[in-house]
Amino acid sequence: MAKRIVVKIGSSSLTSEEGGLNREQVRFFAGEIASLHASGHQVLLVTSGAIAAGFRRLGYTSRPKLVHEKQAAAAVGQALLMEAYQETLIAKGITAAQILLTRPDFSNRGRAQNATRTIDELLKQHAVPIINENDTVAVDEIKFGENDSLSALVANLVKADGLYILTDMDGVYTGDPRKVPDAVRIERVEVLTEELYRVAGGAGSSVGTGGMRSKIDAAHIAMQGGVPLFVGQVTEPGDLQAAVNGTGKGTYFASSLHSMSAKKHWLGFLAVPQGRIIVDAGAENALLNRGRSLLPAGIVTVEGEFHPGEVIEVVNVEGRILGRGITHYAAWQIIAVAGLSSEEVMKRVEVNRVEVIHRDEWVSTTNLKEAIIHE
Of 8-22, 205-219, 312-326, 351-365, the least confident: 205-219
- 287-310 mean pLDDT: 95
Task: Give the relative orientation of helices 67-91 and 23-38 as an angle to the nearest 10 degrees.
Answer: 50
Distance between CA atoms of residues 128 and 94, nearest Å: 7
Q: In this structure, are residues 279 and 299 in contact, taking their beta carbons and an 8 Å threshold?
A: yes
- 286-295 mean pLDDT: 94
Question: What architecture is domain 273-364?
Answer: Roll (2.30)
Distance between CA atoms of residues 175 and 198, nearest Å: 9
pLDDT at residue 258, as a whole number: 58
Question: 7 has which bridge partners?
Answer: 45, 164
Q: How confident is the model over 98-148, as pLDDT tens digits?
A: 999 887 788 777 888 899 999 999 999 999 999 998 866 765 543 455 689
> Is it the case that residue 209 has pLDDT exceeding 60?
no
Domain positions in the chain are: 4-257, 273-364
Reported CATH class of domain 4-257? alpha beta
> Is it the case that residue 373 has pLDDT exceeding 70?
no
Q: In this structure, are residues 128 and 89 in contact, taking their beta carbons and an 8 Å threshold?
A: yes
Q: How confident is the model over 71-84, as pLDDT tens digits?
A: 899 899 999 999 99
* Same fold: 4-257 with 273-364: no
Reported as type and span, the H/E element at residue 99 is: strand 96-101
